[in-house]
Amino acid sequence: MTTLPDIPRLYTALAEVLAVLLYAHRLPPRMNQRVIWGVEAGWAVLLGAFLQATGKVPLAWWIPCMAMAILSMLLFLWVTRSITLLEAGYVCARAFILAELAASVEWQLHCVLWPQRGGAEPLSLLLLAAVYGGIFAAMLFVENRRPGPAGKLKITPAGTFVAVVMALTAFAVSNLSFANGSEANMNMFYIRTLVDLAGVLILTVQHEQLREAALHSELAELDGVLHRQYEQYKQSKENIRLINRRYHELKMQIAAIRAERDHAKQDVALAAMESGIRQYEAENKTGNPVLDTLLTAKSLYCQQHHITMTCVADGHLLDFLETGEICTIVGTALDNATESVETEPDHEKRLIRVYMDMKGTQLYISFTNFTAAKKLSKVGRGFKTSKGEGHGFGLVRMDDIVSRYDGYLSRNSEDGAFTTEILIPQV
């Protein structure tokens, strides 16, 4: 049987670089995009040089060299993308086995067509471009064919472990014949390609299961949001009913005051009536009807639950936002703030502050609430919380809206206070 050359090391390096970038482009960057491009270029050159230099090492050194290449993929993902080391391991496992499949398929076709032709010849490079382009384009289509969840996939340690074990198993089985020193032949290429293909399919199925789980979780959270909105609607109806009842009571009080001839008694009755009316002085006039409605409804809720909410806002500054965007940003922030301050047993410390104004050329929005809770631990861009379903979805929607306008959002937790700050450029 004819002995065939193995995959050129630069072909392997290129496959690994393309596979990593395919998955990395969907992940949030950790640094400036230009810096990332520079790091990508430098890493690609170093990886190619390393694999080329170690292409002729003894068999005993081959596995450590491959481990170093995989480690470089892992570190590149972790350094340049805003993900945990656990998430980087999961992505690295998927990228590595995809690279193995692409390199194996391309070189198998090369050996079928031109078994004696070198990898640097024009026809070989054309085949390389066609096969790599086809495989990675197909995988990109699979990844993008359906919209994913609004937030990041929840990668558990078990999920990462399974992905890493599957990738290493596929790699070990596909290269078993090469590792024992046997001369390469077409049958060995067939086995390697099929095993790598099986590995890619298994990891893709696993990823789809994680995606489906995230979408189901997001749907449950959305259901929670809708439930809260319905509860708020019922509360608004109750407020209207109370106001109508109070309206009729005031009419009767006014009639009684008019009939009273004792001025002292009239003054007492008027003072009592003013005190009763004051609790309904919750209407906000900011200049934006959507913002006014949200603030008024929340002000009524705060009055009923002994919460002091102060607001300094120019509603006209929000006119560029859509109604749904205002509801999401302001509604979510106020919902979280009121739920937080309600844990404070001292009613005088139940405080919420809302501020909206321009800072230079940027719209500045802040929500500050005081709470009895201790400083929360930060997890990624969010905080550990015991709140129920629905809160996570609202926060993700807030992040998406601010990002859509090239804005900046930060959440800060300190002992006794929680602040959400938003900056949105206006030029």
- Global model pTM greater than 0.85: no
* β-sheet with 417-425: strand ranges across: 308-313, 351-359, 362-370, 417-425, 408-414
Closest by Cα among 192, 131, 171, 132 to 6 = 192
Give, in order, the Cα–Cα distances in Å from 419 to each of 294, 312, 336, 412, 416: 19, 16, 11, 5, 10
Which residues lie closer than 8 Å to 74 by C-beta, 6 or more apart? 85, 88, 89, 92
Q: Give 29's DSSP letter.
A: B
Are β-strands 362-370 and 417-425 bridged in parallel, bridged antiparallel, or unpaired?
antiparallel
Q: Indicate the SS3 state at residue 210.
A: helix
Token output for 108? 């198998």
Closest by Cα among 158, 167, 148 to 86 = 158
Q: Indicate the SS3 state at residue 180.
A: coil
Other C-beta atoms within 10 Å of 125: how many?
12
Residue 333: half-sphere exposure toward Cβ, Cα within 13 Å? 30
Are β-strands 378-379 and 351-359 bridged in parallel, bridged antiparallel, or unpaired?
unpaired
Alpha helices in 260-411 (DSSP H): 263-278, 289-304, 323-326, 332-341, 391-404
Domain parsing of the chain, residue ranges: 9-220, 282-425
Closest by Cα among 39, 37, 22, 163 to 99 = 22
Token output for 200? 């890619």
From first to last of the 427 residues of the chain, give the pLDDT tens digit: 455 677 888 899 999 999 999 999 888 888 888 898 999 999 999 999 998 888 777 767 878 888 899 999 999 999 999 888 999 999 999 999 999 999 999 988 988 888 777 777 888 899 999 999 999 999 999 888 876 665 567 788 888 998 999 888 888 887 765 555 555 667 778 888 898 999 999 999 998 888 888 788 777 766 766 676 666 666 666 766 777 777 677 777 777 777 777 778 777 777 777 666 655 555 567 888 888 878 878 887 888 888 999 989 988 999 998 887 888 899 889 988 998 898 888 888 899 999 999 998 999 999 999 876 655 544 444 444 444 444 466 788 888 889 888 899 998 888 778 999 999 998 6
Other C-beta atoms within 10 Å of 308: how many?
15
Would you say domain 282-425 falls under CATH 3.30.565.10? yes
Sequence letter at residue 227? H
CA 81, 213, 201: angle at the middle one, nearest 5?
75
Token output for 282? 């919750």
Sequence letter at residue 143? E
Are 314 and 353 within 8 A, CB to CB? no
**Burial environment of residue 140 by CB neighbours within 10 A (0 to 12, 13 to 18, 19 or more):** middle
Q: DSSP states of 340-352 as a string?
A: HHTT-S-GGG-EE
